Structure 1
Amino acid sequence: MTAIEKPRQGFWGLWNISFGFFGIQIGFALQNSNMSRVFQTLGASMDDLPALWVAAPLTGLIVQPIIGYLSDRTWNRLGRRRPYFLTGAIFAAISLFVMPLSPAMAAPLFFAAAMLWVLDASLNVSMEPFRAFVGDMLNTDQHSAGYAVQTAFIGAGAVVGSIFPYFLEQIGVSNVAADGGIPDTVRWSFWFGAAALFVAVMWTVVTTREYSPEEQAAFGNAELPETGQPLRALAAKSYLSCLLWVVAGTAVFLLVQILDLEKEMLLLGGLLCLYGVLSAVAISMAKKGQAANMLSSIVGDFSGMPEVMKRLALVQFFSWSALFIMWINTTPVVTQYVFGSSNTTSAAYNEGANWVNVLFTVYNGVAAIAALALLPWMSRKFGQVMTHSICLSLGAIGFLMFFLVRDAQTLLVAEIGIGIAWASILAMPYAILASNLPQAKLGIYMGLFNIFIVVPQLLVATVMGQIMLWLFPGEPVWTMLFAAASWIIAAIAMLRVSAALDRRKAG
C-alpha cells in the first residue's frame, strides 16, 4: 500500500505541538540562572559549585535514553509522548515549589542539591519526548519549521524565567535576604515557574492528538522500532571494548589518588566503569538471543549510530561544554569582575546576580527572534550545516567579550552572538537528525543524542574545577576563554557533517 502524507500543520498546530516547551524552559532558565546563587547563598564556595551542579547532567544521562526507548514503545489513552510530558511536568512543578524552602531544612545545601536532582530529572522526562514529538507530528519538509517554533518557545520561556527575579525587584520585592536566606525575588520566581510550567505542558497535552501506531504505519513509519540489525551488530562485538571502558575508569580512580585530584572526578571514573560493565551485559544478552530488553536495545543503538549522528555528536559535545561553563560561571564572573563583589550578602553581589538574569534574558530573547527570523534565511542562503558553523563562531566572539570586557552594558552586545548560537544549537542539529533518522526510532535516537549534551557537562563539572585550581585559582573569568575555544572547535567540526549528508543522499 502506498504511504500517505501526514497532514500539514498550520500556525496553531505548530504552536500547540511545542507550547509545552515554553513552560519547560521557564524551569530550566530559573535553574540555570539562579542555582549557583542559591548554592552560594546557602554556604557553598566557588570550588563547590561544579560538584553541586553535577546532578543536572547526570540525571539527563540516565533519564533521556530510557524515556526515549520507552516512549517509542508506548501507546495508551494519552498517546505516545504525552504521558511523559505530563508526568515530568508534575514532578518538576513540585520541585520548583519546594526549592525555596531549603533554608528551613535541617541540611539546607544538601536539600537544595537533592531538589536540583529531582527537578532536572523531571524536566528531562518532559523534554526528551518533545524532541521526537516534532518528528512524529510533521512531515520531513516541516521539520525545520517545527524545530524553529520549538526554539522560539524555548527562547521565550527562558526570557520569562531569566527576567522574572529582576522584574520582581523592579516592582519592589526584596532582592536581599539575611545571611543564609533566599531572597524573595528568587523565592517567588520559583513559585511562579512551577505554575507556568504545569499550565504550558497541559496546554500541549490537551490541544494535540497523537497519531496512533496504525496511522504511523499508514504514513510509511514502522509500528515498532526495528531492532534486528543493531542487536545483530551488538552480538558480533567482542568484549575488548568493554574492558577498555573499565580500564579507563580505573585509570581515573588511580589518577585521583596519585595526583590528589578533586573527588568529583571519581564520578567520571565510575561512569566509565559502569558503561563498560553494562556493555558487557548487553553484548552477552545479544549473543544469547535475548533481544527484547531495554539495555541491549539502548547499547546496540548507541554503538550503531548513523554516520550523520556520529558527526553531529562531536559538534554537540563542544557546543554544550561551553554552555555549561557559561551557566556555572557567569554569576561568579559578572559579580566579581564587573560589580566587584564575591560577598553573597552584599548589595553589589546581588545587583550583579540580577544583572546575570538580564544577560540571560537577552541571549534567550535573541534566540527566540533568531529562530524565526534569522535562521530560516541563513539556512536558505548557506544551508543548515554552514549556518550552524557561522552561528557557533558568533557565539565564540560573545564569550571572548566576557573575557575582555568589564562594563555591564557592553556585555549585552556579547549576548547577541551567544543568543544566535543558542538558537542554532536548539534547532539545526535536531532538524538535520529528524530528517535523516528512522521515524520509528526517533525517541531512542534523540535520547542517545542527549548523551553528547550530558557528557561534556559532566566533564565540565568534574574536570573544570580541577583545571581552574591548577591554573587560575580564584579567577573564574578564564573559564570564558575555554568556552570560546569550545565553540570554535564545534564550528569547525560542523563542517564535517556535510560529507556524511552527501554520502547518505548518494546512497
Structure 2
Amino acid sequence: MQEVVQKPRQSWAGLFNISFGFFGIQIGFALQNANMSRVFQSLGSAIDDLPALWVAAPLTGLLVQPIIGHLSDRTWLGRLGRRRPYFLLGAVLAALSLFLMPLSEVLIMAAILLWVLDASLNISMEPFRAFVGDMLRKDQHTAGYAVQTAFIGAGAVMGSIIPEIMTWMGVANVAPDGGIPDSVRYAFWIGGTALFLAVLWTVLTTEEYGPEQMAGFGEEQEGAGLEQPVRALASKGYLNCGVWIVAGAIVAVGVSAFSLEKEVYLLAVLLAAYGVLSAVAISMAKQGNTTGMLTSIVGDFSGMPAIMKKLAVVQFFSWSALFIMWINTTPVVTQYVYGSTDTASAAYNEGANWVGWLFATYNGVAAIAALTLLPFLAKKVGKAKTHIFGLLCGALGYASFFFIRDPQMLLISEIGIGIAWASILAMPYAILASSLPQAKLGVYMGLFNVFIVVPQLLVATVMGSIMIMFFPGDPIWTMVFAAGTLVIAALAMTRVDVPGEEA
C-alpha cells in the first residue's frame, strides 16, 4: 500500500499565484455589473426591458457551472492539468467579449455578447473554487479562500472605478451620437487585457498535482466512488419529478393570477425543466447509464452530502440579501439620504455617484477582512462561528440603512456589509473543500453555486412584485428584508457541524 503523505504547505507567494487569476475575472464581472445597463440603454433599450436582458447572467451561471465542474473533474491535459484548461479557455473568450462589447452598434449584438461574456467568466470562475481545494492541504483552506476573496474584493474595486479613472484622465464620458462613450470603451478594453493577463499568470506560475500525486496524498481520485449517487438515482421513483413540474405550473398560474412581473415565468420554466430532466436522468440510470453527464449531475445534486445541503440553505438566504442590496441601494440612498427620486436632478445623480463609493468601500473592507479578521477568527473559534459573526455584521449594516440619513455615516454600514461579503465568499467554500470528496470537488462547487443563482432569480422577479403590493414607493423596506434574510442565514448556520470543530 502506498504511503499517504500530506500536500506541501503553500507559501504566501503560492497562495497569491493560485488565486491571482480571480482578480482578473472579478474585474470582468465588475465591468459587466456596473456598465451593461448603460450599454443597453445607450443602444436604445427601454428601462423596463433591462431585467429581461439581464436574465442572461443568472441563467448562464445556472447552466454552465455544474457542467464545467463535471467536466473539469474528469479532465487531464498533460502539463496543462485539470482546472487550468478551463481558466485559459474562459479567459480568452471573456477577453474577446470585453473587447467586442463596446463596439456593438445594435442592441441584439450587445445582448448576445453579454451571454457569451457571462458564460466565459463562469467557465473560468467555477474551476478556481475547486482549484484552491486541489492545491492546498486542509489546514490551509481558510487562508486559500481568504486570499481568493481578497482578490475578488480588489478586482471588484478596480473594475468599478476604471470608467471613472478614464474620465479623470480626460477621456470623453458622453458619446456625441448618444452611443457608448469612449470612457466605457477603453474601460472594457483595459479590463479585457487585465483579465487575460491575470488568469495567464495563474496558469503559468502554478502546476497542478497529477493523478498519481493526488493518490499519494490520499485524495479520492477519478473513478473512485463516482457512480454511487447515480446508482442511488436508479432506485428513485418519479414522484419528486412530478412535484417539481407541478410547482412550475403553480408558479406560472400565479404569475397570471396575481399580475406578477413576467420574468417570474422564468422561475416556473426552471422548476418544470428540472423535473423533466430529473425524470430523464432517473430513466437513464435505471437503464444502466451511469457515466452520462446528465445522470451524473442530477445524481450528485440529489445525493449532496448532508453538510452541503445545510450550507446550501445558508447560501440561499445570504445571497438573497446581497442581490436585494445590489438592486435597491441606489433608489434607497437617493430617495432617503439625498431626498430625490428625479433621475434628472443633481441630488439624485450625486446620490447615485455616492453609491459607487459605498460599493467600493464594502469591497475594500472585504479584501482586508479576508486577509486579517477571518483567518484570525477561524483559528480562534472555528469556521462556522466565524461565518455566523460575519452574517450578523452584514445584518446590522443593512438594518442601519433604515435609520441613517447622513451619507458619510453609511460608510460605517458598509464595514459590516464588507465583513459579511468576505465571509460569504470564503467560509462556505473553505468548509466544503475540507468536507467533500476531492474527485467531485468541481461538480459539487458548481452545484453549490446554484444556490447563488436561484436567489438572484427570485429577487429579480418576485421582490419587485412584493414591494409594489405591500410597500409601494418605499424601497427602504428592502434593506429590512435584506437584514432579516441574513439573520435567517446566521440561524441556519448554527445547524452546520464542521468536522473537527466543536458545536
TM-score normalised by structure 2 residue count: 0.93
Is contact 1:54-1:462 (8 Å) kept? no
Counterpart selection for 1:86 from 70, 85, 88: 88
Aligned to 2:187: 189
Aligned to 1:385: 384
Aligned to 2:10: 9
| Per-residue deviation, 1:55 | 1.6
| Per-residue deviation, 1:183 | 4.2
| CA displacement, residues 281-329 of structure 1 (integer Å, 9 cap, x when unaligned) | 1111111111110111111111111111010000000111111222223
Aligned to 1:27: 28
Is contact 2:149-2:366 (8 Å) kept? yes
Q: Does 1:60 align with 2:58?
A: no
* CA shift in 2, pair 1:340/1:50, >3 Å: farther
| CA displacement, residues 58-104 of structure 1 (integer Å, 9 cap, x when unaligned) | 111100000000000001132100111011111211222233334x3
Please show how residues 73-472 of structure 1 align to structure 2 within 5 Å.
73-77=74-78, 78-102=80-104, 104-105=105-106, 108=107, 110-176=108-174, 180-225=178-223, 226-339=225-338, 349-472=348-471
Whole-angstrom distance in 2 between the partners of 1:331 and 1:183? 22
Is contact 2:281-2:294 (8 Å) kept? yes
Percent sequence identity over aligned pairs? 70
Whole-angstrom distance in 2 between the partners of 1:268 and 1:276? 13
The alignment partner of 1:497 has SS state of coil
* CA shift in 2, pair 1:157/1:197, >3 Å: same
* CA shift in 2, pair 1:360/1:57, >3 Å: same
The alignment partner of 2:193 has SS state of helix
* CA shift in 2, pair 1:114/1:321, >3 Å: farther
Whole-angstrom distance in 1 between the partners of 2:335 and 2:116? 30
The alignment partner of 1:260 has SS state of coil
| Cα RMSD for the two superposed structures | 2.3
Q: Does 1:18 align with 2:27?
A: no
Structure 2 unpaired stretches of 5+: none
**AA matched with 1:26:** I
Q: Where does structure 1 differ by over 6 angstroms across 4 or more consecutive aligned residues?
A: none
Whole-angstrom distance in 1 between the partners of 2:193 and 2:89? 15
| CA displacement, residues 328-373 of structure 1 (integer Å, 9 cap, x when unaligned) | 2333433444445556566555544433322221111101100111
Whole-angstrom distance in 1 between the partners of 2:136 and 2:342? 51
Is contact 1:165-1:354 (8 Å) kept? no
Whole-angstrom distance in 1 between the partners of 2:75 and 2:240? 32
Aligned residue pair count: 500
Whole-angstrom distance in 1 between the partners of 2:174 and 2:351? 12
* CA shift in 2, pair 1:328/1:101, >3 Å: farther
Whole-angstrom distance in 2 between the partners of 1:332 and 1:44? 20
* CA shift in 2, pair 1:321/1:43, >3 Å: farther
Structure 1 unpaired stretches of 5+: none
| Per-residue deviation, 1:217 | 1.6
| Per-residue deviation, 1:158 | 1.2
Of 366-375 and 379-388, deviating more is 379-388
Whole-angstrom distance in 2 between the partners of 1:71 and 1:40? 37
* CA shift in 2, pair 1:310/1:251, >3 Å: same
Whole-angstrom distance in 1 between the partners of 2:189 and 2:408? 29
| Per-residue deviation, 1:216 | 1.4
* CA shift in 2, pair 1:479/1:36, >3 Å: farther
| Per-residue deviation, 1:435 | 0.5
**AA matched with 1:489:** I
Is contact 1:362-1:415 (8 Å) kept? yes
The alignment partner of 1:62 has SS state of helix
TM-score normalised by structure 1 residue count: 0.92
The alignment partner of 1:28 has SS state of helix
| Per-residue deviation, 1:379 | 1.3
Is contact 2:175-2:181 (8 Å) kept? yes
The alignment partner of 2:444 has SS state of helix
Please show how residues 466-505 of structure 1 align to structure 2 within 5 Å.
466-498=465-497, 501=499
Of 489-498 and 275-284, deviating more is 489-498
Whole-angstrom distance in 2 between the partners of 1:415 and 1:392? 13
| Per-residue deviation, 1:414 | 1.4
The alignment partner of 2:428 has SS state of helix
Whole-angstrom distance in 1 between the partners of 2:458 and 2:431? 26
The alignment partner of 1:467 has SS state of helix
The alignment partner of 1:404 has SS state of coil
The alignment partner of 2:401 has SS state of helix
Of 420-429 and 87-96, deviating more is 87-96
* CA shift in 2, pair 1:76/1:293, >3 Å: same
The alignment partner of 1:8 has SS state of coil
| Per-residue deviation, 1:34 | 3.2
* CA shift in 2, pair 1:333/1:374, >3 Å: same
* CA shift in 2, pair 1:394/1:42, >3 Å: farther
**AA matched with 1:414:** S
Whole-angstrom distance in 1 between the partners of 2:51 and 2:410? 24
